A = this chain, B = another copy of it.
Amino acid sequence: MSGLPYRAPLRDMRFVIEEVLDAPAAWRETPVFAELDAGTAAQVLEQAAAFASEVLAPLNAGGDLQGCRWDDGRVTTPSGFREAYRTFVDGGWPALACDPAWGGQGLPQLLNVALYEMLHAANHAWAMYPGLAHGAYECLKTHGSAELQQRYLRHVVSGEWLATMCLTEAHAGSDLGLLRTKAVPRPDGSVQVSGSKIFISGGEHDLTDNIVHLVLCRLPDAPPGTRGLSLVLVPKVLPDGTPNRVRCDGIEKKMGIKGSATCMMRFEGATGWLVGEPHRGLAAMFVMMNAARLQVGLQGLGHLEIATQNALRYAHERHQMRAPQRSAPDAEADPIAAHPAMRRTLWTLAAWTEGLRVLGYWAAQLLDESEHHPDPVRRERAARLLPVLTPVVKALFTRLGFEGSSLALQVWGGHGYVHETGIEQHVRDARIAMIYEGTNEIQAIDLVVRKLLPDGAGAVQAVAGIVEEELAVSLPQPALATHARAVRQALDGWCDATRRLADDAGSDAELPWRVAEDLLQATGLLLLGWAWLRSARVAHGRQEAWYERKRRCTGFGLDWLLPDIHPALARVQTRGVALPPLPQP
């Protein structure tokens, strides 16, 4: 039993990086990336693909079956996880997109995101361990004291030590303002941390000798709520080599990602050091959280990709019944890929996967631009788009990752429901991503209530500007005009609905909360429409069969899937209906 086979979609990745996003040209303009070219980037991805397909994917099913083992505070990961992690570190992968000043390779986030798409597709549970470390690196690099940076950054960059985000407590999940873990300052500048955390991914494991916990807690003089939270670095092993007073009290048995240790952690007067200012822990943590939300989105993309390729493979192998248009007249029956219902499903999977890849990689390109682009106007534009894009990537990608895995299971039918074929594991694994790092409901509120509405028309215009740019190029081309007009109509509807929502919220303050989910879905579809149109334009006029297939796929997205934006927008405008709480049963 080795789980689903995974073949990294390198051709599609290069299409997005080189052709749709034109990243190599951007790298040439950006001093820190000036020496990177398309060929080098492609080589990096090929090596990552080999690791994901040959090392990680074969461990996925066994990791699910075996799970993690807890024994008196120690956690053992499934067979092969430790060796795979050693290979990963030896390959220098953790350092890929880190600053050379701390031992990093200084490559773009764009390549790191492509790397993580592959890791998550091949083995979501395993990829959880290194997946959080990059956020911790960003957080320490931005907010850590010089001394903390000196002591921890190189080890995190190299992957020698892994990191966690310790937020949730039993009574405080979405509501961090309720956190109770305490941090008491000591005269030597350290703090003493006491409290219990739950659902800590990688809180304890056997992959690294030390683990760097970033813990949200309260100083004695802290105001209540989220303005009283401080961020503290608590290592598993203290600088003098002695164990810290941190203990893993147990691990959860879960629906999926069973190879990822989800830990109950107890801090019993553990030693730590503040990261950033007192009571400003949430701001520091959000550096990490935003990186994590993009990561979680990539989990959705990874699940979609492996679901799509395995659904397609099976649909060509499995012959059942005659399709209305026969495709295998000499066989007993047609491949199920020929049946209209399956063709809908398969094109849906392909269009979602390929559209989301453009959006996810674009988000990474914006991260690179916001930090490194020489033009301040480009940096500012990127910084303005990212806060809007992040909740959409997190919520849209994870929803489609789960739904897509379930669609792939449907293609496999009864054989997909059986554990052995490996499809059902992806449905179970993908499900968590809709919950952690802020539930998808919270992402919708973040997008609508915190990003789109308060910014006046600024955030709306930033998104609209991106779509307008594409329309300006696509609309004049006759072969693209029908699809471009569909995107134009989607954009107009979206702008209108957003404007009206801002107006209507004046007389119905709760309205934005009530329709946030609809507007998030509509925003996701608008951006998908942009991604499909842009991809269609790039593929336009190319003769090779590969581009013909790409045009069909983007055409399917624009013809069959984009129109769903209109009912979503209609819902935004018609949900002024009272919605009282349901009484307790």
Taking Cβ atoms with an 8 Å cutoff, the residues of A that contact B are 7, 168, 172-175, 177-178, 198-199, 252-256, 309, 312-313, 315-316, 319-321, 324-325, 327, 332-333, 335, 337-344, 346-347, 350, 402, 406, 409-410, 413-420, 424, 427-428, 431-432, 434-436, 439-441, 444-445, 509-510, 513-514, 516-517, 545, 549, 552, 556, 559-560, 563-564, 566-567, 570-571, 574-575, 577, 579-585
Contact B255 A320 (CB under 8 A): no
Closest partner residue, chain B, to A556 (CB atom)? B579
Bound Cα distance from A253 to B417, whole angstroms: 9
A174 touches which of B309, B321, B516, B577 (Cβ 8 Å) = B321
Bound-state Cα–Cα, A346 to B585, Å: 11
- Asked if A313 and B418 make an inter-chain contact with CB atoms under 8 angstroms apart, the answer reads no
B414, A199: Cβ atoms closer than 8 Å: yes
Given known pairs A174-B320, A434-B410, the reply for A343 and B419 (CB within 8 Å) is no
New contact pairs (19) apart from A312-B585, A337-B581, CB-CB < 8 Å = A174-B320, A174-B413, A175-B321, A252-B419, A253-B419, A309-B585, A324-B509, A341-B513, A343-B579, A346-B582, A406-B431, A410-B435, A410-B441, A414-B436, A417-B431, A428-B428, A552-B580, A560-B577, A563-B570
A65 (CB) vs chain B CBs: closest residue: B253
Q: Are B583 and A549 in contact (CB under 8 A)?
A: yes
From B175, B315, B419, B424, A320 is in contact (CB under 8 Å) with B175
**Alpha-carbon gap, A317 to B346, bound state (A):** 41
Contacts of A582 in B (CB 8 A): 312, 315, 337, 343, 346-347, 350, 549
Contact yes or no, B441 A342, CB < 8 A: yes
A252, closest chain B residue (CB) = B418
Chain B residues, CB < 8 A from A252 = 418-420
Q: 10 A–B contact pairs at CB < 8 A? A: A172-B320, A173-B320, A173-B415, A174-B320, A174-B413, A199-B414, A253-B418, A324-B513, A340-B510, A414-B436
State the CA gap A418–B414 with chains docked (Å).
25
Q: Which residue in B315, B319, B342, B432 is a CB contact (below 8 Å) of A417?
A: B432
Residue of B nearest to A449 (CB): B324
Q: Is the CB of B575 within 8 A of A316?
A: no
A510 to chain B, nearest CB (A): 4
Q: Are A339 and B513 in contact (CB under 8 A)?
A: yes
A29 to B7, CA, bound (A): 65
**B409 near A431: Cβ-Cβ < 8 Å:** yes
* A434 proximity list for chain B (CB < 8 A): 410
Q: Which of A346, A428, A559, A582 has the most CB of B within 10 A?
A: A582
Can you list the 3 inter-chain pairs with the closest CB atoms, starting with the nearest? A255-B424, A340-B513, A175-B320
Given A254-B418, A579-B347, A341 contacting B516 (CB threshold 8 A): yes
Q: CA of A199 to CA of B340 in the docked complex: distance in angstroms?
A: 26
Give Cα distance in the complex from A94 to B441, angstroms: 44
- Measured CB to CB, the nearest residue on chain B to A198 is B414
